[in-house]
Amino acid sequence: MNGKQLRIEKLFNKSENAVIVAIDHGMFDGPIPGMINMKETGEKIDSSIDGVLLSPGMLKHLRPVFNYKGAPMPIVRLNWSSVYCFHWDYNNAYTTIAQMADDAVANGAEIVLVSLTLQTGSEKNDTDNVKIYSHLVNAADKLGIPVIGEYFPTHSSELTNEQMHEQVFTSCRILSELGCDMIKTFYTHKFKEVTESCPVPVFGLGAEKKPTQLEALQLASDEIRDGAKGVVFGRNAIQVANPIAFQRALCDVVKNNLDPIKAIAKYNIKD
């Protein structure tokens, strides 16, 4: 078994489904609630979590999150895209490399994430995005490092349910065809079509902060029901009164199929 397979198995070693907490938002948004002081944010990550997604520059500041037996795996985002900068009214998804794969690995990354946006309205932009995505994926593959490919569409908040599904359904398959080991993307109303059409595990993301923690747990439950092999939650897992309790509940829902209402009661979660 090669190094890549061992790392993938490590991510899933606590269950057949994995839970990843994303704290890389500062890479696009700057400081946001729950992620102002990153050392304090790191202390809000429970040991039940399988992986933590963070930006290249934060790994060196958050070593304690990963430096104990059974700790989550560090997952580093390698590229930067303007598609995430809604606050600047950017939506064209111009993309650049933030860190090379070998540098991320040298700093301690065990898995890397590479994002891709297509259907930007520009053939050149789409082609440039694929060029960067493929370069980073192939570089990680040569190092034996697993890659989570992420599909994030432009104008994501303005798409109809059908438009979102069409983009996710088509582009997640393209991500896997270009070479990745796992995929992170939006949950759609026909998500099972997405998971069944991809030859690699698909993670559903949490997207915007849900009004209640029950709704966030229900989203995770729906994603698993429809074939996801895990979830990647950021704001919903951090911007809550008791992040540790929520994360334990999330793991119970994702890994053990615990009903969200029962999870709320079991972990004494109050919105």
pLDDT digits (tens, 9 = 90+) for 188-231: 999 999 999 999 999 999 988 999 999 999 999 999 999 999 99
Domain-located, residue 210: yes
Q: How do beta strands 51-54 and 79-81 pair? A: unpaired
C-alpha atoms less than 13 angstroms from C-alpha of 32 in its C-beta half-sphere:
18
- What average pLDDT does the segment 12-19 reach? 92
56 has pLDDT over 70 = yes
What confidence tier does 72 reach under pLDDT thresholds 50, 70, 90?
very high
157 has pLDDT over 90 = no
Domain of 94, in residue numbers = 3-266
Looking at residue 91, its pLDDT comes to: 82
Domain-located, residue 25: yes
Instruction: Count structural domains, the chain.
Output: 1
Q: Burial code of 90-117, b = ≥16 C-beta within 10 A, e = fewer?
A: ebebbbeebbbbeebbeeebbbbbbbbb
Mean pLDDT estimate for the chain: 95
Percent above pLDDT 70 for the chain: 100
Between 131 and 3, the more confident residue is 131
- Of the given ranges (14-18, 180-184, 198-202, 211-215), which has the lowest mean pLDDT? 14-18
CB 237 within 8 A of CB 207: no
Domain-located, residue 244: yes
Distance between CA atoms of 226 and 42, rounded to whole angstroms?
Answer: 30
Domain-located, residue 61: yes
Rg (CA), the chain: 17
pLDDT, one tens digit per residue, over 83-136 is 988 888 888 899 999 999 999 999 999 999 999 999 999 999 999 999 999 999
80 has pLDDT over 80 = yes
Domain-located, residue 122: yes
Domain-located, residue 52: yes
Q: Could you say which DSSP state residue 84 is in?
A: G
pLDDT, one tens digit per residue, over 219-230 is 999 999 999 999
Distance between CA atoms of 52 and 23, rounded to whole angstroms?
Answer: 7
- What average pLDDT does the segment 153-170 reach? 92
Looking at residue 2, its pLDDT comes to: 82
Domain-located, residue 271: no
> How many Cβ atoms from other residues are within 10 Å of residue 261's Cβ?
12
Looking at residue 52, its pLDDT comes to: 98
At 255, which CATH number? 3.20.20.70
1 has pLDDT over 70 = no
Instruction: Note the helical H segments in 43-190.
Output: 101-106, 123-143, 161-178
